Amino acid sequence: MHITKFGHCCLLIEENGLRIITDPGIFSTQQDDCTNIDIILITHEHPDHFHMDSVKALLAKNPDAKILTNRSVGMLLEKEQILFTLLEDGQRMEEKDVLIEGFGSKHALMHESIPQIQNVGYLIANRLFYPGDAFTNPGKDIEILALPVAGPWMKLGEAIDYALTMKPQKCFPVHEAVLKTPGSAHGIPTKVFAEKGLPFQILDIGTQYEF
């Protein structure tokens, strides 16, 4: 599996010839120029994960790409007459022999006054779990975890505890573009995970990594 981080939560994931873009949001633009994309995977409707202009740019260059997402994002796509396939909690599909499974249904609580929207995390090829904006436990052994490390719905200690509970073989940070200096969120988990024997790899923007 190869993973290239374009920013925040937008990843290019390549597995068995399948090319997946996750959450094309407002904090990155590199995804707009990608070609040969098979799947656009969207966890929820917040603009840092789902930017309509980026989705349209991707579809313009990848007209055969399939969008996999939940009902709340689907409603927004329908308004633009954009086709999508539902992939929600408990559902699964295969593309090029790569299994993609949905887990979870709610965005993490930001405040009791703010209604929780729909959020679905995705397990790709029984290897990489990308939870979106929630600390969902899919109840499976996770090899690679895309770990949210910053945001208005969480604190860093919760992210650390989540990763320690999930016990992945490897993890890397996402959801840190909201910080002025994203690297500032990496020091503490790097130290804690090192003591626990959990590899924590920082992904340089635009660089492909093999997992």
State which residues form the domain around 129. Answer: 2-210
Q: What's the pLDDT at 150?
A: 95
The confidence score (pLDDT) of residue 138 equals 98
Instruction: Look at residue 188 in the predicted model and tell me its pLDDT.
Output: 80
pLDDT value for 183: 79
Tokens of residue 86, six digits: 């539902």
Closest to 96 measured CA to CA, from 61, 64, 69, 60: 64
The parts of the chain modelled with pLDDT lower than 70 are: none
Long-range pairs for 91-98 at CB < 8 Å and ≥24 separation?
93/68, 95/18, 95/38, 95/39, 95/66, 96/16, 96/17, 96/18, 96/38, 97/16, 98/15, 98/16, 98/18, 98/124, 98/125
pTM of the model: 0.92
**So what's the pLDDT on residue 84?**
98
Q: What is the helix (H) or strand (E) element at residue 58, kind and residue range?
A: helix 52-61
Extract the tokens encoding 23. 């959450």
Q: Which candidate, 107, 148, 140, places its Cα nearest to that of 123?
A: 140
Q: Between β-strands 98-103 and 92-95, what pairing exists: parallel, antiparallel or unpaired?
A: antiparallel
Cβ distance 65 to 77 under 8 Å? no
Report the CATH number at residue 185.
3.60.15.10
For residue 185, the model assigns a pLDDT of: 80
pLDDT at 105: 97
Tokens 């090899």 belong to residue: 143
In the 8-state DSSP scheme, what is residue 32? G
State the CB neighbour count (10 A cutoff) for residue 139. 7
Number of independent structural domains in the chain: 1
| Full DSSP string of 113-177 | TS---B--EEEETTTEEE--SS----SS--SEEEEE--STT--HHHHHHHHHHH--SEEEEES-T
* pLDDT one-digit tens code per residue, 108-125: 998 888 889 999 999 999
